[in-house]
Amino acid sequence: MAGAYDFVPAIAALPLLAFVVSLFFGQYLPRRGAEAGIVATAGSLVLSMWTALTVAGVTGSATTYNENLYTWVAGLADSAVTLRLGVLVDPLTALMLLIVSLISLLVHVFSLGYMNDEGETGLPRYYAGLGLFTASMLGFVFANNLLMAFMFFELVGLCSYLLIGFWFRDAGPPSAAKKAFLVTRFGDYFFLIGVVGVFATFGTGLFAPIEGAETLHSFPELAEEAIASGASEAGVQTFFGLGPEAWFTVLGLLVLGGVVGKSAQFPLHTWLPDAMEGPTPVSALIHAATMVAAGVYLVARMYGFYLLSPTALAIIALVGGFTALFAATMGVVKQELKQVLAYSTISQYGYMMLALGAGGYTAAVFHLTTHAVFKALLFLGAGSVIIAMHHEENMWTMGGLRERMPVTYYTFLSGSLALAGIVPFAGFWSKDEVLYEALIHGLGSEGSIGTLLLAGYAMGLLAVFFTAFYTFRMVFLTFHGKPRTDTARDPEPVRWNVKLPLAVLGIGAATVGFINMVPVKKVTGAEIDYLHKWLAHGGIELTTSEHYGELLHDVAHIEQAELGPLAPGAVSLLLALAGVGAAWTLYNVPEPEEHTDRLGGVKTLLMHNYYQDEYQVWLAQGVTVQLARAADKFDQGVVDGVVNGISSVSLFVGSRFRRIQSGVVVNYATLMTLSLVLLLLAFVVAGGVL
Amino acid sequence: MTSRPRFATDVNYANGTAALALFGVLAWTFVNADFLPPLGFGEGEVTRSIGFAMFDMLELIPDGHGETEGFLVAFIVIAVVLDAALDGAVMLARREGEDESLVTALADGGRRLTTRERDGLDDSGPAADSGPDPAADSWEGED
Amino acid sequence: MPIAGPIEALLAVTVVGAVTVFLTPDEYAAKLATGISLVPVAVSLWMYSVFEAGGNALTGGDLAFESTLAWISLGQYELAYHVGLDGVSLPLLLLTTVLTTLALVSSWTPIGERESQFYGLMLLMEASLIGVFAALDFLLWLVFWEFVLIPMYFLIGVWGGPRRKYAAIKFFVYTNVATLVMFIGFAALIFGLGDSISSFDLPEIAQALRTGGNLETFVGIEPPVLRLAAFTLMFAGFAVKVPVFPLHTWLPDAHVEAPTPVSVMLAGVLLKMGTYALLRFNFTMLGETAKANAGIIVAFGVLSVIYGALLALAQRDLKRIVAYSSISSMGYVILGLVAFTPHGFGGATFQMLSHGLISGLMFMAVGVIYNETHTRMVGDISGIADRMPWAVGVFVAAAFGYMGLPFMSGFAAEYIVFQGAFASQVIPAAPLVTAVTMFGIVVVAGYLLWAMQRTLFGEYSLETDYDVTRAPVQDVVPLVVLLVLVIALGSAPGLVYGMIQDAVNPLLYGGVLPW
Amino acid sequence: MAIVTQYYLVLSAAVFCIGVYGILTRSNALMFLMSVELLLNAANINLVAFSFYYGNLTGQVFTLFTMALAAAEVAVGIGIILVLYRNFEDIDVTKAATMRW
């Protein structure tokens, strides 16, 4: 009987079909291809739900699925690895499938309002891009090995490029698209080395072992064995004479390069704010909820591998914590709605990385889930505002939109409360758990790793204040006070296709946190940490959070400190409230002023994003391009110069040498005579007569 | 228009040293070379034997004149070549596109005739030592 | 053995076709030549479908479509007409026939004078290329190998751009000198082998060399030195064709001056001759020497990749960009070959095929833009995506193919090469070297994205006085066909990778190896 | 007592070198022709000398042939000189230099 798992490939295939339909036939459809996308993503959502139910054990007995479906490159000889594509479905996959297909569906619907109703041209291209993106993102999610993950990871990057550059007639979007692709490509370079390295090391890139007549082992499993009993025992090949731990750390960090690029972590975060040049629904789908999550998801997917290397974990945590704080401070001074959200996205993904680095697997996935919902909501809300403001994004031209667009306002508020981490909205629960995990593991672990985790925690905690502040600065500037421009006084109304996704996500942002109320459980003892239970179960033992907990304890030696959840939770809540309060005081007034000038030099620094773009542009243009010019000079001058030199030398010699050919018989005769004399002399000498 | 022998003035003595050098080397080599006494031809008339050899009458050659092969074919071939060379010389000497008679070529030494000369208007006849005709095309080699 | 197999049919059709086209009036030449060139495509596809051969042609594997005919006796050597295909040469043969047809179609628009001669020469070039990939006797191979230059010389020198004479002569002399150098190396081997070979049959020579002991001292050169010298000379000779840094400078000049279809053939197939020959001669016959000097060889590969990519970054001419990036891409082939792993050899061969398709695609895409705008300079054009959306769409797809986008053949090939090279036991510090080489994929993205941003996107403007409209169908069709092929090969490398693996694995495992 | 072979050879070399000297130093085509005759006769001396040395008639026969061929050569040479004169209005061989590169 065909079960849900047989249709998993169709989850990605449907949007792919939509891509083809939209691209080639979109211009003949009344909504220019949106129909295909909506139908396909709705189909994907239904299939994802079915899959999730099957994983939950409701519609089938097998709660996980892991099969190789297609041999991409067959290695015939002994030492040649075979590269395959396959499907892995476990609770994590099922959850992510749901998130991606849901948000994608909502974004498709929203696009009807944002793109179709605004009379954009080139819509088939737009919907084709969305379809291809959804397909590749879903393919990435259910990939069962690292190479397949990388392949879809890159495709996702392509879609990002195409969609950011959708308005290619302007100067900004193509440039932003180029930057986004290049910066993530730089990260993917390391990722690719990592993929190649993993295959070379383990001979496989499977995330989870495939049970069958012949069990195919997964690479985290082999790595675990190699550390326990030595590399050669496990049939693992390490390089440069490194021991298993050290080499696995290297591999983990290489893969992390791709993660840092895609999830916009410091120092490769610079592309994300620029990516806001793309259409807002694209920002919501790709640059907030899903694609940027790919990096974090990847770490979660191969978490069993990272847990073997405390060094890698500490670096992840530190990068995450630093990015969380770093990006949050930049969000404080931005004037454009989407820019604030972009930096907020970077910051929130920093939290997830912090959680992963600190051993809070469930917390990271939880925050990934809630963030996907509320950040998509905020972007769509921003999109709604942008429609209303006739594509004006500067918050200083807005104000007082609360009365004129209530649906947008209340849903946006719901998302903001979630982002700021105010109880009981979704963000509170997940962010609180992230910080809690970082704290207890930081306190519990010995040595430098504990210190690093605590440093990450401290930065994350500080970022809570800034998050709440910039979030509500944004809310107040946009919706409160008096309208500051004519457009704000008379905004364009939005239709159902905008409001419906907002409403769905608004409710979600308020409630999705209830799936994992760990503090409540700890206090009351009620078994309501559903997400914990969800991730802890599953037929593939090696990818459950229970197993990860053991690894954390046994291999990484990261321990938990005994600490109740209430006090840390209260601290972070207080900080968040303080941030909201500060924003209230400064900006919830009828005619708010720009207080950023008071920051003095810091403002310049923040407005310039800590000069991160500058140094990266300098690296690209000042160093690489100059190097290329020098190489070109060298090539034209020296390398080709030698070639042309040889040719001109022979031409010159020829032109001189032919003078001998004077045409005068006497000269020829002289030469012949002299040559004969010389030849005779040579014979005489060679013959030993002389 | 008298003409008499004169010493050459355009002699290139520098090139001549090459010939002297060649002679030096050759002479030095020959003088220093070791040769046995020549065998010579013994009895009998050499010239006569040569005649026999040329017409393949080898059995008539005395034994003392060594082994000799017949040269009849070579003789004939050379005769033909000589004839051909004569014909070729005449052909080269003949002026293109003009009076094809052999006499002209031999009479005027191949010199380009002026129009008057060719038309027989020049009573003085062809002068052997007359300079180049000013009416003739200049063929000075370019250099 | 029958002497009228499909290879002979291919040669006959192309040569006779070439002569016919020469004699045809200009106005029919294009269509006629394209029609004729479909025959080799059909024949080679049929050959692909019935292909049944195992092993490498030079190590005693089974050959497909083999035929032999005694030709000349030269002292002890019996020279023969000997052709046949294995898993390495068949894909390249397919590449030749398919790319020729597409190049012919893409010449319809840009070629407007002396058409019958142009198309005739193109067919003649196809014939000699087929010969290069099929020949198994050294002299026969050399004849084809050299003959390729002649049509190419005229194609560049007659139909090329303003500096066509310079480019054509440079191309001809440079590659010809390279052949001489290579020939000296190979001749030294033949003399060194002395009586142990009785013909110039490549399989026989390869077997003799691979068994190791047959090489004798030749003019006072000891066998190991002879091997090294021959290897060096042959490598240098083939490296010009590939081209490998620093022997590459003829390539950009030739590409810039050559008309689009000729560039397509030059980058798509002619460069593959070099790597094909490297695989056949240096890495098959003198594998031991290659292994011993892997460090130096791989340095050339890595330098080509990085240096070529950097040079591409500094160019303004779109064709020059693609030309330099070809140098970069061919560096991956060197890396794969010298790795001496199954995926290394396989990936290198696959990269030949893949780069043939993708670079052909890129050059055609540039050509389509040039046909409309009459300029190729980045900075003279911008925003033409507005005017020719489909052509630009294909251009973007091609560029991403070049950058190694998954599910396109470039990624498959490069990934396989990297996978093969990373675990190499031969290359010193293989993982590090591989990682350095891989940086090429970042730089390639850099210059292609930059060029696309400047030319395709932004506000429409054009420095030349031409009205840009949608590209004609005949220009876009070859692009689409190539794109489909690239995607098909990227999604299912197994279409050819199986036979490639079959053919390259004996180089590592089969046969008698002295190491 | 026969004359030793060396003397013939030195004589031949002398005649030859005189011929060469003539060719090298003079530019008149007729002088050339005469010098060439000297060269040929130098060879003839050698032929005769070695014929005597080996006691073999062939050398002497060949000398006759050489003389015959020399006549042929003179015939052709004179023809060439005539053409030269007609084309260059001179028989100075250094002037006839149009066929170089």
Q: Tens place of pLDDT for every residue, chain C, 515 residues?
A: 455 788 899 999 999 999 999 998 988 888 999 999 999 999 999 999 988 877 788 887 788 888 888 888 877 888 889 898 888 999 999 999 999 999 999 988 888 888 889 999 999 999 999 999 999 999 999 999 999 999 999 999 899 888 888 999 999 999 999 999 999 999 888 888 888 888 888 888 888 888 766 777 777 788 888 889 999 999 999 999 988 988 888 998 999 999 999 999 999 999 999 999 999 998 888 888 888 888 999 999 999 999 999 999 888 889 999 999 999 999 999 999 998 888 889 999 999 999 999 999 999 999 888 888 888 888 888 888 888 888 888 899 999 999 889 999 999 999 999 988 988 888 888 889 999 999 988 888 988 998 888 888 888 888 777 777 778 888 888 999 999 999 999 999 988 988 888 888 888 764 333 33
Structural tokens at position C28: 């029919």
As a 3-state breakdown, chain D gives helix, strand, coil percent values, each rounded to 5, of: 75, 0, 20
Q: What CATH number is attached to the domain comprising D18?
A: 1.10.287.3510
User: How many CA atoms does the CB half-sphere of A312 hold within 13 Å?
Assistant: 28
Residues A643, C170: C-beta atoms closer than 8 Å = yes
Distance from C-alpha of C80 to C-alpha of C138, rounded to nearest angstrom:
9
Asked whether residue A177 carries a pLDDT value surpassing 70, the answer given is: yes
Q: Give a yes or no: residue D43 inside a domain.
A: yes
- Nearest residue to C456 (alpha-carbon basis) of C376, C348, C356, C354: C376
Q: Give a yes or no: residue D94 inside a domain.
A: no
**Residue that the structure tokens 């390490």 belong to:** A238
pLDDT at C512: 36
- State the total domains in chain D: 1
- Nearest residue to D67 (alpha-carbon basis) of D45, D84, D97: D45
B18 at interface of A, judged by CB pairs closer than 8 A: yes
Residues D98, A663: C-beta atoms closer than 8 Å = yes
A179-203: average pLDDT: 90
As a 3-state breakdown, chain C gives helix, strand, coil percent values, each rounded to 5, of: 70, 5, 20
User: B62 contacts in D (CB within 8 Å)?
Assistant: none
Which range marks the domain in which residue D12 is found? 5-88
Q: Give a yes or no: residue D98 inside a domain.
A: no
A422-444: average pLDDT: 87
Binned at pLDDT 50, 70 and 90, residue B138 comes out as very low
Cβ–Cβ pairs < 8 A, chains A and D: 29
B75-80: average pLDDT: 90
| Mean pLDDT across chain A | 86
User: B8 contacts in D (CB within 8 Å)?
Assistant: 26, 28, 31
A59-76: average pLDDT: 81
D30 at interface of B, judged by CB pairs closer than 8 A: no
Binned at pLDDT 50, 70 and 90, residue B124 comes out as very low
pLDDT at C411: 92
User: D31 contacts in B (CB within 8 Å)?
Assistant: 8
A432-460: average pLDDT: 87
Structural tokens at position A638: 């020296």
User: D54 contacts in B (CB within 8 Å)?
Assistant: 38-39, 66
Higher-confidence position of D92 and C259:
C259
pLDDT at A447: 79
Which candidate from D23, D98, D99 shows the least CB-CB separation from A669? D23
Asked whether residue A123 carries a pLDDT value surpassing 80, the answer given is: yes
pLDDT at A553: 80
User: How many CA atoms does the CB half-sphere of B15 hold within 13 Å?
Assistant: 23
Distance from C-alpha of A276 to C-alpha of A335, rounded to nearest angstrom:
13
pLDDT at C511: 39
Higher-confidence position of A574 and A542:
A574
Q: A touches which chains (3+ CB pairs under 8 A)?
A: B, C, D
D31 at interface of A, judged by CB pairs closer than 8 A: no
User: B95 contacts in D (CB within 8 Å)?
Assistant: 86
Which candidate from D60, D72, D85 shows the least CB-CB separation from B110? D85
pLDDT at A190: 93
Instruction: List Cα–Cα distances, A131 to A16, A43, A120, A155, C434, in angstroms.
Output: 6, 12, 18, 12, 35
B36-53: average pLDDT: 83
Distance from C-alpha of A253 to C-alpha of C222, rounded to nearest angstrom:
50
| 3-state SS assignment for residue C65 | strand
Distance from C-alpha of A441 to C-alpha of A664, rounded to nearest angstrom:
100
pLDDT at A224: 85
Q: Give a yes or no: residue D97 inside a domain.
A: no
DSSP string, B44-83: S-HHHHHHHHHTT-GGGS-GGG------HHHHHHHHHHHH
- Nearest residue to B125 (alpha-carbon basis) of B100, B103, B102, B108: B108
Asked whether residue A291 carries a pLDDT value surpassing 60, the answer given is: yes
Q: Where are the alpha helices (DSSP H) in C58-114?
A: 89-106
D15-27: average pLDDT: 90
Residues D101, A670: C-beta atoms closer than 8 Å = no
The number of residues in chain B equals: 143
Asked whether residue B137 carries a pLDDT value surpassing 70, the answer given is: no
| 3-state SS assignment for residue A44 | helix
Structural tokens at position C469: 């409209």
Q: Give a yes or no: residue D28 inside a domain.
A: yes
User: D20 contacts in A (CB within 8 Å)?
Assistant: 669, 673
A663 at interface of B, judged by CB pairs closer than 8 A: yes
Which candidate from D10, D75, D88 shows the least CB-CB separation from B30? D10
| Mean pLDDT across chain D | 86
pLDDT at B105: 47
Spell out the residues 6+ positions from residue A625 whose beta carbon is closer than 8 angstroms to its own. C313, C314
Distance from C-alpha of A420 to C-alpha of A510, rounded to nearest angstrom:
12
Distance from C-alpha of A103 to C-alpha of A509, rounded to nearest angstrom:
13
Quickly count: other Cβ atoms within 10 Å of residue B69's Cβ.
12
Distance from C-alpha of A445 to C-alpha of A449, rounded to nearest angstrom:
7
How many angstroms away from the CA of A657 is the closest CA of chain D?
11
Q: D touches which chains (3+ CB pairs under 8 A)?
A: A, B
How many angstroms away from the CA of B27 is the closest CA of chain D?
5
ipTM > 0.85 (yes/no): no
**Residue that the structure tokens 């969305």 belong to:** A130
A679 at interface of B, judged by CB pairs closer than 8 A: no
CA C499 to centroid of chain Cα atoms: 18
Crossing angle of helices C250-257 and C164-193, in 10° steps, is 140
**A316-370 residue pLDDT tens:** 999 999 999 988 888 888 888 888 899 999 999 999 999 998 888 888 999 999 9
pLDDT at C515: 34
Binned at pLDDT 50, 70 and 90, residue A520 comes out as confident
Distance from C-alpha of A311 to C-alpha of A245, rounded to nearest angstrom:
9
Residues D61, B132: C-beta atoms closer than 8 Å = no
pLDDT at C416: 92
pLDDT at A525: 79
A586-590: average pLDDT: 82
A209-214: average pLDDT: 80
Q: C touches which chains (3+ CB pairs under 8 A)?
A: A
Q: Does the N-terminal peptide bond of residue C243 adopt cis geometry, omega within 30 degrees of 0? A: yes
Helix (H) or strand (E) holding B143: none
Q: Cα-flanking dihedrals φ and ψ of residue D3, to 5°?
A: -70, 135
C7 contacts C64 by C-beta, under 8 angstroms = no
Residues A663, D32: C-beta atoms closer than 8 Å = no
A542 contacts A209 by C-beta, under 8 angstroms = yes
